[in-house]
Structure 1
Amino acid sequence: MGNDRPNYAHYLTFAAAAVLSPFVVACSGGSSCERGGRCVDTADSDVTSLTATDSVTSTSGGATSATGQGNTSQGSDSATGATTATSVTTGPPKFDLPPEPPPPDMGEKGPIIPETCAQAEAGESTVGCLFYAVDLDSHDLAENLPYAVAVANVQLAQDAEVLIEQKVGGAWQTVAGPQTVGALQLATFQLPDKHANKSQLLAGGAYRVSSTVPVIAYQFNPVDGQSSYLSDASMLYPAPTLDTINRVTGLIGLVDNTNTNLYAYATLVGTQDGTQVEVTPLAATQAGPGIPAGSPNTPFNITLNEGDVANIAVAQLGTSISGLKANSTAPIAVFSGHECALIPNPTCCCDHTEEQLAGVRLWGTNFIASRLPMRNPGNPEAVFWQIQASEDGTQVTLTADPNVTGLPPSPINLNAGQVVEFNATGPAGAPGDFAVASNKPINVVGYMIGSEACCGSTGDPAMVQMSPIEQYLPRYVVLVPGTWINDYLVITRPEGAPITIDGAPVNDGDFLPVPGTGYEVGRISIPDGVHVLDGGNTPFSVVVVGFDAYDSYAYLGGTGTGIINPNPPG
């Protein structure tokens, strides 16, 4: 993850999806492929009070607040004012972390879409050759439904050979593939159930996804949206983009309308054998096989080998997984999930939520919080938002059209690990998009709310981490899955920027401005399949969203992964 990045780029222009062609085992650019997707260059060789001692700024107009040790009201419509945060005395990690990497060389043409696995090792975007996927814990009613990994080949003229492995008895074994995926084609792999339940260390619990050329990977849990009612999805971050300093943003444990206890959790995945992980929760966490009970602000240690999964669930209903820290001696993959979340709690209906989270070194300071598509366009429903600080003394300022409602007053003062939560909406002409600026790196997460809070039987909670403006890319190849009835691309672009979808210019009339920012947001209905979005040399963002009866999904279509926060506090 250093700055010795090769001088390369391919800028995607529209091409019709290629017919699957015979596979050729080779990497481009004079490099040869090894198993595992690696290429060798043969030519060159509410306000949630969490960790700090200061109080969070009081909120109004739909903001929420809670007191102490990770408690949160999770999207409640009431505001209760300022709260007092708890103190933390954990200090630095008890083991040496790797050296801090230097800032990225983003070049003059924006982040890169790599053409070879050797290039992907530079770790500048979510296009890569090696990923770790996890069948995350869901509602018990959905555990037997098909979990799937989908792989989109972003290359214009290269086939990808995709292999999925699982670890059995300490050795990786093929579970799917090798399968040839043609240029601008996709493949979906339904995989056996391997979920960890509540708190549990599951040896070899992850799937290893590898490709011989750079691809984008997503996971769907479950993949059948029309029959499950309990779906979500996540974009997967390639292994070279993972971090050793991670914080979790997430939800609370709760009881659903069937009187079932449902828990929020963090999932940690090892990518190297012998990785030591120091976990510091902000609320008590459950003990389970291989996982000790966690106490607020008290570190505990676990060891992960490559492919091991540590699931860490909150111990008490009404407490949040937000603020959990995971510092490690080697990069790990980190997911935030919920078995079945109610947003707002206790409004029906619950839905599984999940998201792979960017490490803290990838967090930014400038965001456009682009609301999810309106299910009730004449009277737009709220979107539930969380903003989390990585450092003490963080000041956050929100900017929006004056007709947007529910935003807490600025500035919002946060310390490390603290989260502010609120519900934002507005009229059809200003339905709730807003800008976020901070003096220190933050994380911004949006959630679709439950169907019966707004929309009859349409949609239910889904979770997506927003990309900082600093990480926008100039082009994307995205997968819009089948089986959901309504699918949208949420595109955030500089005002008037020429963006094409599959070679056709977007309709400027589909976009609404975010005043005072120079950005605008469009929510564009899109058919199933693989789509190429091209902004020329202009970076922009895309979120893929879908919903139907009592179900939904949302995920980033991709993001840059330049190290814009090289020296975060441990």
Structure 2
Amino acid sequence: MDHGARGGTPMRNAPTAIALLLAACTSGSRPPAEIACAPEDEGVITCVDAREVRCEAGGTAHARDCEHVCVEGRGCLRCEPELVACEDERTLAICDAEGTSLEQRACAPNERCVARQCADLCAEAAARHDYAGCEYVAVPIATPQLRAGFSFAVVIANASDHEANVSIEGGALDAAIARVVPARTTETFVLPWIDELSQIEQREQGGRSVIAPRGAYWIRSDVPVLATQWSPLDFRLDNTRCEDGPGCFSFTNDASLLLPLHALGARYHVASYAPLAFEQPAIAGEPYAAVVPGRGLFAIAATEPGETTVTVHASAPLDTPEGGRLEAGTSRAFTLAQGAVLQLVSSSPRDAAECAPQGRRRQCDAPSLDPTGTRIESSAPVAVFSGHGCAHVPFDRPACDHLEEQLLPDVALGARYVLGTIRPLHEQPAPSFARVLSIADANEVRFDPPIRAPITLDAGEHVLVEHDAPLVIDADAPLLVTQLVVGMSFDLEAPGAEGDPAMVLAAPIAQWRREYVFLVPGTYTSAYASVVAPAGTTVWLDGEPLEDTPMRVSDFELHDIALDRAAAVHQLEADHPVALTLHGYAPWTSYAHLGGLTVAPLVE
């Protein structure tokens, strides 16, 4: 594969080591029958396989077997003059100019021998702005509706030709976990929930704000790898692990593509969702009461040594770790040590003015409490995870599910997007929802097809749009766009049994790629890939061209692909840059995450 023509790959594949020391062929000195020397050829040296044939006086040909290599015009030598090659993935072999001496040079501990040179693959991935990398943080944000027994997990995919030495430490671990992940394989690391952040089985609160000094898991590899986090990994437990007996379901899952540390930034905008609340009759004379099973939230992990100052500019009321409230339109600075995580959740509805009950189950629609649009600025790069404890999408359609996604920094956002539709469940007609957030003032946003009139948004303002076909979004300035999967009972007249809300980032066109390596979990009942490509693009999945009939919008096509869950690692290639989104379903739950992207700076 021509990596230069592909515009970057998730990982640089090492060529098969070149053998410099060739075994000798047949024995004996009789020249091959096809070699004949004329008298004027005296002194000419040629090679036949690994045999040297030398023309001598009188037209006599003399042949001998070479112990190592035969070089045309030079004959038998120790090695090919000035050839540099990889003897193995950690050793460079260098032949001198005369071909008489072979030097073996060890690569540095952080290097691998690739394409005839020792290369720092981690530095190369960072220079390419790749979504594969050598350092990550994983943060298990609040999922209060999840019952005990389910596991948080990080899945590492090693798509390179080199084994990866991977370690995970921090968080709730007492000691680091270290494993070797062989080339072209995956490894699942099951990790403890971090009680302060994850808040398992704290259903009545819907999440709470905290600072967790050891809130992040640190993932390190000596070669670039891909990483995703799963909250939780499984949707069902067997009866040996389930406290409630057979048929124990999680009812709440999501996943996120993890971004390597080299892709992080110091400025973000939050994408979340309004609190899920139900009207409750007045208690003890109170005029209003509500049950809040889930709230919008985000978590900020400090990744640099020393202390990082993080300033939060709230777009909606937020609970503070000490029990106060950060009002909309105000700001507050927090100081975090490396590895600490600040998690902030949206405030609960306090009265009917903040939460007007609507819908047949009297759910609460509280857009004023949605933290989407909150701006985060930091003195050093940080990782930001955003989501929800348990959300209805839309607000009045059951059932609720956990949302999470690691956010792109503002610097990596673009002004043009093409969204596919999320595959309907049980062939039910169901729209897709997209949250479009501006990070600049006076930003006109246009839609094709024109599902609504153009709208002008200021920084932090956003609009929720519904679409049932691929959608092109074009703006004057950068946007943050997320897609939301609807609940299983979106159609109240014919509710389904699989799927529930999930949230996934959209990749701007400027960050699309020609090649992706991605993994599919075998723990869900179905898995799909959504590929958006320029019209006429040829797309290959695992080496085979796609043969579906894509949906068309403007100059783009959408491929909706059912994936083989038995094969954990897949490769997608195209002759033009494309976007890849992955999603899957199981009874009463779902997941969705980006399949990858380039994370190059697009905004100054």
Task: Say whether the 8 Å CA contact 1:142–1:230 is kept in structure 2.
Answer: no
Task: Say whether the 8 Å CA contact 1:385–1:445 is kept in structure 2.
Answer: yes
Partner of 2:66: none
Q: Which aligned pairs between 1:474-493 and structure 2 lie closer than 5 A?
A: 474-493=514-533
Aligned equivalent of 1:128, options 128, 133, 143: 133
Task: Say whether the 8 Å CA contact 2:11–2:224 is kept in structure 1.
Answer: no
Task: Say whether the 8 Å CA contact 1:491–1:522 is kept in structure 2.
Answer: yes
Whole-Å separation in 1 of the counterparts to 2:597 and 2:122: 18
Whole-Å separation in 2 of the counterparts to 1:376 and 1:438: 35
Partner of 2:157: 152
Aligned equivalent of 2:438, options 389, 396, 401: 389
The ranges of structure 1 where at least 4 consecutive aligned residues each deviate by more than 4 angstroms after the TM superposition are 7-15, 24-31, 38-41
State the one-letter code of the partner of 1:413: T
Q: What's the TM-score once normalised by structure 1's chain length?
A: 0.75
Aligned equivalent of 1:251, options 263, 269, 273: 273
Q: Percent identity?
A: 27
Structure having the higher Rg: 2
Q: What's the TM-score once normalised by structure 2's chain length?
A: 0.71
1:526 has 2:602 as partner = no
Structure 1 residue 308 displacement after superposition: 0.8
Q: How many residues align?
A: 459
Structure 1 residue 115 displacement after superposition: 7.6
Structure 1 residue 122 displacement after superposition: 2.2
Structure 1 residue 345 displacement after superposition: 1.5
RMSD: 3.1
1:346 has 2:396 as partner = yes
5+ residue gaps, structure 1, are: 16-23, 46-113, 426-431
1:161-218 deviation digits (Å, cap 9, x = unpaired): 11111158xxx96442x21112221111110110415100000111001111101100
1:265-308 deviation digits (Å, cap 9, x = unpaired): 0110100120111111111110224x863121111011112211
State the one-letter code of the partner of 1:558: G
1:497-533 deviation digits (Å, cap 9, x = unpaired): 1211111111142x1111x2x2100110001233433
Structure 1 residue 145 displacement after superposition: 1.7
Partner of 1:221: 231
Partner of 2:512: 472
Q: Which aligned pairs between 1:380-529 and structure 2 lie closer than 5 A?
A: 380-400=429-449, 407-409=451-453, 411-425=454-468, 432-454=469-491, 455-509=495-549, 511-514=550-553, 516=554, 518-528=555-565, 529=567
SS at match of 1:474: strand
Q: Which aligned pairs between 1:24-423 and structure 2 lie closer than 5 A?
A: 32-33=108-109, 116-122=121-127, 124-142=129-147, 144-155=149-160, 157-166=161-170, 174-176=175-177, 178-195=178-195, 196=197, 197=199, 198-226=208-236, 227-255=249-277, 259-272=291-304, 273-289=306-322, 293-317=325-349, 318=366, 319-377=369-427, 379-400=428-449, 407-409=451-453, 411-423=454-466
State the one-letter code of the partner of 1:181: V
Aligned equivalent of 2:587, options 535, 544, 549: 549
State the one-letter code of the partner of 1:546: G
Structure 1 residue 256 displacement after superposition: 5.7
SS at match of 2:146: helix
5+ residue gaps, structure 2, are: 15-87, 93-104, 200-207, 237-248, 281-290, 350-365
Change (3 A) 1:224 1:534: closer
Task: Say whether the 8 Å CA contact 2:519–2:570 is kept in structure 1.
Answer: no
Task: Say whether the 8 Å CA contact 1:32–1:40 is kept in structure 2.
Answer: no
1:75-122 deviation digits (Å, cap 9, x = unpaired): xxxxxxxxxxxxxxxxxxxxxxxxxxxxxxxxxxxxxxx981121232
Structure 1 residue 388 displacement after superposition: 0.1
Whole-Å separation in 1 of the counterparts to 2:437 and 2:112: 37
Structure 1 residue 347 displacement after superposition: 1.8
Whole-Å separation in 2 of the counterparts to 1:314 and 1:474: 39
SS at match of 2:435: strand
Structure 1 residue 30 displacement after superposition: 8.0
State the one-letter code of the partner of 2:481: V
1:430-462 deviation digits (Å, cap 9, x = unpaired): xx2110000100011111111111342221000
State the one-letter code of the partner of 1:270: A
Change (3 A) 1:26 1:331: farther
Whole-Å separation in 2 of the counterparts to 1:233 and 1:210: 20
State the one-letter code of the partner of 1:245: R
The structure that is strand-richer by fraction is 2
Task: Say whether the 8 Å CA contact 2:530–2:561 is kept in structure 1.
Answer: yes
Change (3 A) 1:115 1:381: farther
Structure with the larger RCO, 1 or 2 (CA within 8 Å, 6+ apart)? 1
Task: Say whether the 8 Å CA contact 2:157–2:519 is kept in structure 1.
Answer: yes
Change (3 A) 1:543 1:182: same
Structure 1 residue 537 displacement after superposition: 4.5
Structure 1 residue 262 displacement after superposition: 1.7
Change (3 A) 1:329 1:31: farther
State the one-letter code of the partner of 1:533: Q
SS at match of 1:138: coil
Partner of 2:23: none
